[in-house]
Amino acid sequence: MKFDTRTLVLMAIAIVINIVVGQIAVWVKLPLYVDAVGTVLVAILAGPLAGAVTGVLTNVIWGLVSDPTAMAFFPVSLVIGLLAGYLAKLGWFRNIGMTVVSGIVIGIISTLVAIPIIVYMFGGVTGAGTDFATTFLVSVGQELLKSVAIANLTTNLADKILTCVIAWVIASRMPNRFTASFPFYQHSAS
Amino acid sequence: MITQGSSQTGTALLYVPGNSFIHRMNPLTKLVGLLWLAATTFMLPPGGMATIFVATFLFGVLAGAGKAFIKRLILTLGPFAIFLFVIHGVLIERHDTIQHEWISFSPEGAQYMLKILVRVAALLAASMLFVTTTHPANLLKALDSHGVPPGIAYLIASPLLLLEPFSARARAIRDAQQARGLDLTGSWKARVKAFPALLIPLVTLALSDLDHRATVLDGRAFRARPFRVVLDAPVDRPYERWLRRALLIAIPLQIGVLLWL
For chain B, the structural domain boundaries read: 21-142+233-260, 149-219
Task: Pinpoint the alpha helices (H) of chain A.
Answer: 5-27, 37-46, 48-65, 74-89, 96-116, 122, 130-139, 144-173, 176-179
pLDDT number for residue B227: 80
DSSP string, B208-235: HTHHHHHHHHHHTTTTSSSS---TTPPP
CB pairs under 8 A between A and B: 239
- pLDDT tens figures, B179-211: 998 888 888 888 888 888 898 889 888 888 888
- pLDDT tens figures, A156-184: 999 999 999 999 999 998 888 888 889 99
Spell out the domain ranges in chain A: 5-187
What residues of A are in contact with residue B87 (Cβ under 8 Å)?
123-125, 134-135, 138, 144
| 3-state DSSP assignment of residue B187 | coil
How large is the greatest C-alpha to C-alpha distance in chain A, in angstroms?
A: 56
CATH of domain A5-187: 1.10.1760.20
- pLDDT tens figures, A5-19: 999 999 999 999 998
What does the pLDDT average to over A12-33?
Answer: 86
- B contact test, residue of A7, A18, A21, A24 with most B CBs within 10 A: A24
What does the pLDDT average to over B208-215?
Answer: 88
Q: Of the given ranges (A63-77, B40-54, B137-151, B228-242), which has the lowest mean pLDDT?
A: A63-77
Residue B13 pLDDT greater than 90, yes or no? no
Cβ distance A70 to A48 under 8 Å?
no
What does the pLDDT average to over A94-109?
Answer: 96
From CA A184, how far away is CA A87, in angstroms rounded?
12
A53: nearest Cα among A8, A21, A117: A8
Q: Of the given ranges (B12-16, B226-230, B242-246), which has the lowest mean pLDDT?
A: B12-16
Count CB atoms within 10 A of the CB of residue B21: 11
From CA B210, how far away is CA B162, in angstroms rounded?
13
Cβ distance A124 to A144 under 8 Å?
yes
Task: Pinpoint the alpha helices (H) of chain B.
Answer: 21-24, 27-41, 46-62, 66-84, 107-133, 136-145, 150-179, 188-208, 210-219, 238-260
From CA B238, how far away is CA B245, in angstroms rounded?
11
What residues of A are in contact with residue B203 (Cβ under 8 Å)?
17, 37, 41, 170
From the CA of B117, how many Å to the nearest CA of chain A?
A: 8
| 3-state DSSP assignment of residue B115 | helix
Q: Give the pLDDT band (50/70/90) at residue B2.
A: very low
Which chain B residue has its CA at the smallest distance from A75's CA? B2
Terminal Cα-to-Cα distance of chain B (whole angstroms):
33
Which chain B residue has its CA at the smallest distance from A58's CA? B2
Cβ distance B202 to B170 under 8 Å?
yes
Residue A113 pLDDT greater than 80, yes or no? yes
What residues of B are in contact with residue A120 (Cβ under 8 Å)?
none
pLDDT number for residue B193: 82
Query: Alpha-carbon torsion B163, B169, B175, B177, what sign?
Result: negative
- pLDDT tens figures, A33-71: 888 999 999 999 999 999 999 999 999 888 777 677 788
pLDDT number for residue A184: 94
Residue A122 pLDDT greater than 50, yes or no? yes
By Cβ distance, the residue of A29, A128, A174 closest to B207 is: A174
From CA B259, how far away is CA B261, in angstroms rounded?
6
Residue B133 pLDDT greater than 60, yes or no? yes
Q: Give the pLDDT band (50/70/90) at residue B3.
A: very low
By Cβ distance, the residue of B92, B124, B158 closest to A68 is: B124
A19: nearest Cα among A4, A2, A33: A33
A4: phi > 0 → left, psi -120 to 50 → alpha, else beta; which?
Answer: beta
